[in-house]
Amino acid sequence: MGRLFLITLEGNIYSCKHCHTHLGLADHIISKLYTISGMYPHSAFHSFLQTFQCRHGRAYLFDRVVNVTLGEKEERMMLTGMHSVVDIFCVGCGSIVGWKYEAAQEKSQKYKEGKFILERFKILSPDGSSYSIIQDAQLGGSDTDEP
């Protein structure tokens, strides 16, 4: 296997909850919220917002992440339509921490292409705390795979 070189980030860091490998900066979060229509993810003009959702509760959409490897590309039907995605894994411990959007079929979802989802349940926040699935259990969904 070779030597593992990790990128060390400075600032408000999100890291793997299992091995504390740095994954992303708070400054690289594109959205913790999105509009139901999905057309204007950053618009302050929409009053009805929900958080990104995944199998284990809430998630964050990042512009970039570090210290991850990519899995195999696959088509997934999600609540917001069909997407081509690859799972992303922590290079430190191999845990799946989220996925990367490769392509979206719906025009309104194209803004996600090339972006990353980190599942809150699988990461530590900048203050070192972890998130609970129980806290997120009552929330509605966004991009959870359809049952």
Write out the DSSP string of 91-133: TTT--EEEEEEEEESSGGGGGGTT-EEEEGGGEE-TTS-B--H
The model's confidence at residue 80, banded by pLDDT at 50, 70 and 90, is confident
Write the CB contacts of 21 (distance below 8 Å, at least 6 apart in sequence). 6, 15, 67, 90, 91, 92, 93
Write the CB contacts of 135 (distance below 8 Å, at least 6 apart in sequence). 57
The model's confidence at residue 130, banded by pLDDT at 50, 70 and 90, is confident
Give the global pTM.
0.77
Cβ neighbours of 135 (radius 10 Å)? 12
Would you say residue 57 has pLDDT above 60?
Answer: yes
What domains appear along the chain, each with residue ranges and CATH number?
Answer: 13-136 (2.170.150.20)
Would you say residue 106 has pLDDT above 70?
Answer: yes
Would you say residue 83 has pLDDT above 60?
Answer: yes
**Could you tell me what percent of the chain has a pLDDT over 70?**
71
Which H or E run includes 43? none
According to DSSP, residue 81 is labeled E
Dist CA 6 CA 69 (whole Å): 12
The mean pLDDT value of the chain amounts to: 80
65-77: pLDDT as tens digits: 999 999 999 999 8
